[in-house]
Structure 1
Amino acid sequence: MAKVIVGATPFEGHVGPVLTVAADLVRRGHDVVVYTGSRFEARALGTGARFQPLPPEADLDDRRLDSLFPLRATLPPGPAQLSFDFETFFLGQLPAQVRGLRALLARFPADVVVGELGFWSIPVLSLAAPPRERPTLVTLGSVPLLIQSADTPPFGAGLPPTPGEEARARNRAMNAEVRQLFAELQSFGAATLASLGVPIPDYLFDVPFRHTDHYLQLTVPSFEYPRADLPEHLRFVGTLPPPASRTYAEPAWWPELSADQPVVVVTQGTVANTDLTELVVPTVRALADLDVLVVAATARPDGPELVRRALIDVPDNVRLAGYVPFDRLLPHADALVTNGGYGGVQTALYHGVPLVVAGASEDKPEVAARVEWSGTGVNLHTGRPSPTEVRAAVRTVLSDPGYRAQAGIMAKEIGQHQPFDTIAEIIDASTIR
């Protein structure tokens, strides 16, 4: 039995994957402590693990970010918002996060620390001591690869790669421009890490990729742009299976999912769902007169009522819902309309469901670009599409069998990977080193 700490920035999309991993490690008999925000305590304990909250200075509530940090709401998606997020949520909370982790390690000497990309304590531990003097470090990649490469345009451009030396020269030039664009953030990161007694030896956004023992990207190679210069410790391990729902009460309309009518699911995920008029409402309007059953999975208790207010009249072919577990819903779906959350897209592909993606914030444009590049769906290139745009995209995905076929090929590739086994092998090896 190994002692394992799993840690995450206290945001829903960051915490979900580590809780899934924690549950599997507990099932395998390991002693696990979850280290993240206090609002996730009940869910962490539900995995069978123990729980340690982040120090108060780092214990954020991602449901209240705009009210706690009103400046963020005024920043457009892109470099300005990304810089704010890193300075405020990732680097800004890092000293407290590291202090709490070191205190936890002093009384719970873990063999392994598992964290997601935003859990910057992992590169700090990696830079602070050689492998023999610290736990084995495992980073889970739950967003598209940010690491710079001569083979791809920089993260954030939303551009797919093109072959040839001319393209590589362009990529190198664009990467240099991006490094200059984030020069102030680089300095902020260097000062933050220096305060913790470690250097910043690389471009800021490359640090979590290069300074860990095992970087496990939670997708398959066919969903990510090919690169010849990735670190050797970076591996594609497949998509985490969606957690099995056990207590969900199926609504009265559930049998309709098994009828002959195509099923289109629309969601804005669990975080970027504050304004449902961005995607859910336009999709409902767009598909109102099509011969499809529309399930609006709003992922919030008041979601159905908010959609009703926006629409006045709910179309007959629409079923409004709050939280619906995707492990039950997506096997019935013929298409998923989404704002591009990485986890939701991977879950759709796990089930072989083609996609229509409309995302503008965080990593969502890059997720949408990879959906388009991989042939598994349509990228609307906006976070607030019109009903006309959504309607055309959905009709394209439903009528062109190539999207469904490509999503099915991706699902087969996902099925060939066993991410839990890969993580378990690393854990087992750590106890005999």
Structure 2
Amino acid sequence: MGPTLRNGNLNENNRFFILFVCHPLTGHLTPAIKVAEALCSRGWPVFFLGPTAHKARITRAGVTFIPLQGSADHDDLLYYSPDNPNPPVPDYWSRSWAGRALVDVEKQWLDPIPDQWTSVKAALSDLQALDPQREVIVIAEAVFHGLLPLFYGAKLPPGLKRPRATLALSVTVPLISSAHLPPFGFSLPYDADLTRSAQTLRAWRFWARNSVQLKDLLNRKLLEAGATTGVEGVFMDGEMYTNYDTFMQLGVPGFFFPRTDAPASFRFVGIIPAAKPASGWGQLPEWWDEIATETRRDGIKVVVVAQGTVETDPWELILPTIWAMSEREDVLVVAILGRKGATLPAQDGKALPSNARVTDYLHYDAVLPHAHAWVHNGGYGAVQHGIANGVPMVVAGEGQDKTENAKRMAYSGAGVSLGTAKPEVNDVRRAVEAVLDVPSYRERVELLRKEAEELDCYSSIERAVVEICS
């Protein structure tokens, strides 16, 4: 049985269905779901092709859920759990972050492409059956590779209409080539005036040679899905963005390195605004009043620390931050463990400092309006939350997109990058005290917040949709 229309009705003037597709990881799904919810609230009929592990989150947004099929139906919380009885490879957790990242690219990005494409075709067929007169606009979170077969010659079933338009929504720093920047994850600095272009070019050639196996796997999976050609360029030099009619980047220009060679279809669309639920935040920790009222009255500074949902070992950043601030009577540390039911490990008989407050899970937008510093491991979503709430940051992370985010955060002046995922307590102390005491960090992040406010994320995305429909 296909989907039924949850929002709107089949006789409304709107001539389009919007179909969201998304890489099935929490950090990618969260902003994509928020955008889908916003368009739904503005009267667009919205459908979301997503993993069943996140069905409840998607349906709570008011959009119609369509499940991914087969290997595409990925459970990221299980995948990244150290207790997973079937890890992606047997030695996954003993590998370096770079080694794990290569496994993730293979297992999450490339292997599922045929099943992702099958899921896309099924969703398009369901929507056409629901209303044959409506055209479909696809908004694809850019790391979702399951739409690429369409751009490389894969056929749709007889009678199934091609989408009216496709728009890429980038919820990370984009993985796209530039003369100003080395490949993703390389340590070469940003080259504003192209004086080091020879070095950058050598880095791209090195990456081209060493990523051939990934490119070959991508092309095998495209052919397996029915494509007639493959990617000709370098792996991860922009194919996830430039095939689309429009390339929408979550973020603000002031956070990014300026470049002269952005694709013509590229546009910034701002930052997901901080959530302000009308019904409140639900059950909050028992110490919540200390954060929300007493700190303001007593002049206490609040430092919030979290590590996201993937790298959740608290010894890496949460505990170093707690101990770094343990002697500051004017600071209260809020530590968010990132998984419901999580607890801190034993501290070798040491009691937690009296100025530490710990919770298993807490929405960032609930606590960051009360924060004076935001310590995290550099996920793009965490950075965006910091900007949206105007809170200067301390970033300590590596792997995935974290090092790239840290570079841009330091460049933008919105905070301090520690340059490692496992900082020493003294390094954390110096960095946190810097963002607490040096006004320029808060001033800079406030400028970025205003830049995001002026872009008006949801309106920018809706304008892009309307333009592409015209």
TM-score, normalized by length of structure 1? 0.94
Counterpart pick for 1:18 among 26, 32, 49: 32
- Residue in structure 2 matched with residue 272 of structure 1 by the alignment: 311
Contact 1:268 1:279 in 2 (8 A): yes
Q: Does 1:57 align with 2:82?
A: no
Contact 2:390 2:442 in 1 (8 A): yes
Identity of aligned residues (%): 32
Structure 1 position 45, deviation (Å):
0.9
Say which is worse superposed, 152-161 or 90-99, in terms of deviation: 152-161
Counterpart CA distance in 2 for 1:107 and 1:388 is 57
Counterpart pick for 1:204 among 230, 235, 243: 235
- Residue in structure 1 matched with residue 185 of structure 2 by the alignment: 156
Q: 1:310 to 1:178 in 2, by over 3 A?
A: farther
- Residue in structure 2 matched with residue 126 of structure 1 by the alignment: 151
Q: What SS does the aligned partner of 1:416 have? A: helix
Q: Does 1:228 align with 2:228?
A: no
Counterpart pick for 2:344 among 287, 306, 325: 306
Say which is worse superposed, 186-195 or 341-350, in terms of deviation: 186-195
Q: 1:310 to 1:107 in 2, by over 3 A?
A: farther
Counterpart CA distance in 2 for 1:102 and 1:239 is 31
Q: Does 1:239 align with 2:265?
A: no
Counterpart CA distance in 1 for 2:349 and 2:405 is 29
- Residue in structure 1 matched with residue 44 of structure 2 by the alignment: 30
Q: Does 1:289 align with 2:327?
A: yes
Q: 1:310 to 1:400 in 2, by over 3 A?
A: farther
Moved beyond 6 Å, runs of 4+: none
Counterpart pick for 1:219 among 237, 246, 251: 251
- Residue in structure 2 matched with residue 256 of structure 1 by the alignment: 290
Structure 1 position 301, deviation (Å):
2.2
Say which is worse superposed, 60-69 or 291-300, in terms of deviation: 60-69
Q: Does 1:77 align with 2:115?
A: no
Q: Does 1:416 align with 2:438?
A: no
Counterpart CA distance in 2 for 1:337 and 1:238 is 22
Counterpart CA distance in 1 for 2:194 and 2:321 is 41
- Residue in structure 2 matched with residue 173 of structure 1 by the alignment: 202
Code of the residue aligned with 1:373 in structure 2: it is Y
Q: Does 1:94 align with 2:113?
A: yes
Code of the residue aligned with 2:256 in structure 1: it is E
Structure 1 position 419, deviation (Å):
1.9
Q: 1:320 to 1:390 in 2, by over 3 A?
A: same
Number of equivalent positions: 428
Counterpart CA distance in 1 for 2:178 and 2:437 is 36
Counterpart pick for 1:320 among 332, 342, 358: 358
- Residue in structure 1 matched with residue 132 of structure 2 by the alignment: none
Q: 1:135 to 1:121 in 2, by over 3 A?
A: farther
Q: What SS does the aligned partner of 1:101 have? A: helix
Q: 1:165 to 1:42 in 2, by over 3 A?
A: closer
Contact 2:192 2:259 in 1 (8 A): no
Counterpart pick for 2:443 among 396, 401, 405: 405
Q: Cα RMSD over matched residues?
A: 2.0
Correspondences of 1:374-413 after superposition (within 5 Å): 374-413=412-451
Contact 2:410 2:416 in 1 (8 A): yes
Counterpart CA distance in 2 for 1:235 and 1:155 is 20
Say which is worse superposed, 35-44 or 423-432, in terms of deviation: 423-432
Say which is worse superposed, 46-55 or 160-169, in terms of deviation: 160-169
Counterpart CA distance in 2 for 1:287 and 1:13 is 28
Question: Which structure 1 residue ranges, 5 or more long, are not aligned?
Answer: none
Counterpart CA distance in 2 for 1:402 and 1:41 is 42
Counterpart CA distance in 1 for 2:272 and 2:188 is 26
Counterpart CA distance in 1 for 2:348 and 2:19 is 44
Counterpart pick for 1:339 among 362, 371, 377: 377
Say which is worse superposed, 350-359 or 59-68, in terms of deviation: 59-68
Higher helix proportion = 1
Structure 1 position 143, deviation (Å):
1.1
Structure 1 position 428, deviation (Å):
3.0
Contact 2:281 2:366 in 1 (8 A): no
Code of the residue aligned with 2:230 in structure 1: it is P
Structure 1 position 306, deviation (Å):
2.0
- Residue in structure 2 matched with residue 190 of structure 1 by the alignment: 219
- Residue in structure 1 matched with residue 8 of structure 2 by the alignment: none
Code of the residue aligned with 2:59 in structure 1: it is L
Q: 1:293 to 1:176 in 2, by over 3 A?
A: same
Q: What SS does the aligned partner of 1:128 have? A: coil
Structure 1 position 24, deviation (Å):
0.9
Contact 1:36 1:59 in 2 (8 A): yes
Counterpart CA distance in 1 for 2:100 and 2:319 is 25
Counterpart CA distance in 1 for 2:120 and 2:202 is 38
Structure 1 position 117, deviation (Å):
1.8
